[in-house]
Structure 1
């Protein structure tokens, strides 16, 4: 179903920046600066990955029971809304970046996650209000949320403006965990 593809796409898009990086040589930095950048990125990836804890596939949707279909879809979309909102909140708590430009990039990421959370919360509200016997009502709201997601850019793209943090993501343990779970690219 389209929703399974959505969930996979959401995870890949939202975490793409944590695993991507330029393997080229950057400007030399001190070991202390590198360690601080890795620790910072560990916090960033940990905060951004809240939704990665969710089940990656949509619940089995029973089209033969419209009320159950509506309830299951609303619950799942609601979980996504909560996870994106929590990620945004956690990103805002990461603290001061040891690298110039890092804090600004993380704040932009938090704003993007807030937008995602709001989009899914609004979709959940529409699903909750929809008539379960209307085959398009609730599912249309979910589809609209999915369409809005496709219009959003990579939430972690702002890290690309800070090459030292992008490089630090390659060795930060939380970013490694996401790659090991298959929710972030390995390049």
Structure 2
């Protein structure tokens, strides 16, 4: 059970690596309708820079001896804390990107911030449950980590909220920070 949970954490971290596809779901972007493309790209640079905090986190699940339950618990709590902090930083950054040059952009970015905030809360709660669990119980609190990691599916595409704003979605394709965010997602080690 402990080993499979660590493996689950690694798989979830792997899922994080594929979650910054730039928001393009295969449909061709619609042409901009008189919107200053440079302003949209500049705005998306700010959005992707803020959102990239989650992509900078360590993507390798903790490597510990599953027989050492107290160390496993401590390492998983630390890992949950790292995830919580990264999502909180991204949420805060998204709240501060400023006004969008495109109608609907601010609403989409605010929705992204809400998603990051929610995930940060989930990981904070998981960390607390792990820390409060009985160290002699091999699975104590670790289930909370698995449940939190399962919530990462909500972030399968961190820019999905831009789907209703084609001008910004198109801007992600050329915005340097959006491209950097994609490059941050290297394949995790086992």
Length-normalised TM-score, structure 1: 0.87
After superposition, residues 93-104 of structure 1 pair within 5 angstroms as 93-104=96-107
Task: Tell me the residue number matched to 1:7.
Answer: 13
Deviates more, 1:99-108 or 1:148-157: 148-157
After superposition, residues 103-142 of structure 1 pair within 5 angstroms as 103-142=106-145
Task: Tell me the residue number matched to 2:180.
Answer: 177
Q: Deviations over 1:117-155 (max 9, x none)?
A: 000000000000001110111211111212333366744
For structure 2, the 5+ residue unaligned runs are: 1-6
Q: Deviations over 1:28-87 (max 9, x none)?
A: 455x71000000000101101101111111121321211111110000110000100110
Relative distance call for 1:176 and 1:149 in structure 2 (3 A) is: closer
Q: Please, what is the CA RMSD of the aligned residues?
A: 2.0
For 1:128 and 1:161, the matched residues in 2 are separated by 41
Report how far residue 27 of structure 1 moved.
Answer: 2.8
For 1:122 and 1:165, the matched residues in 2 are separated by 33
Report how far residue 181 of structure 1 moved.
Answer: 3.1
Secondary structure class of the residue paired with 1:38? helix
Task: Tell me the residue number matched to 2:86.
Answer: 83
Relative distance call for 1:80 and 1:38 in structure 2 (3 A) is: same
After superposition, residues 47-62 of structure 1 pair within 5 angstroms as 47-62=50-65
Task: Tell me the residue number matched to 2:3.
Answer: none
Relative distance call for 1:149 and 1:112 in structure 2 (3 A) is: same
